[in-house]
Amino acid sequence: MQNLSRIHDSTLLTQSSVYQIDRTLYRYLYKTGTINAPQYIFRPLSGQKKKADIKLNHKALTTRCYAVEGLSTNSSVVNQQSQQLSLF
pLDDT tens digits along 36-84: 999 999 999 988 888 999 999 999 999 999 998 877 776 544 444 444 4
> What pLDDT, on the 0 to 100 scale, is given for residue 64?
92
Please say whether the dihedral angle defined by the alpha carbons of residues 30, 67, 65 and 83, taken in this order, is positive or negative: positive
User: Count of CB atoms within 10 A of residue 30's CB?
Assistant: 10
Q: Which domains does the chain have, with CATH numbers?
A: 4-87 (2.30.30.30)
Give CA–CA dist 35/85, Å, rounded.
45
Res 70: pLDDT: 79
Q: What does the pLDDT read at residue 65?
A: 93
pLDDT at 74: 66
Q: Are the beta carbons of 87 and 81 closer than 8 angstroms?
A: no
CA dihedral 52, 53, 59, 61 (to 10 degrees): 110
Cβ contact 39:56 at 8 Å: yes
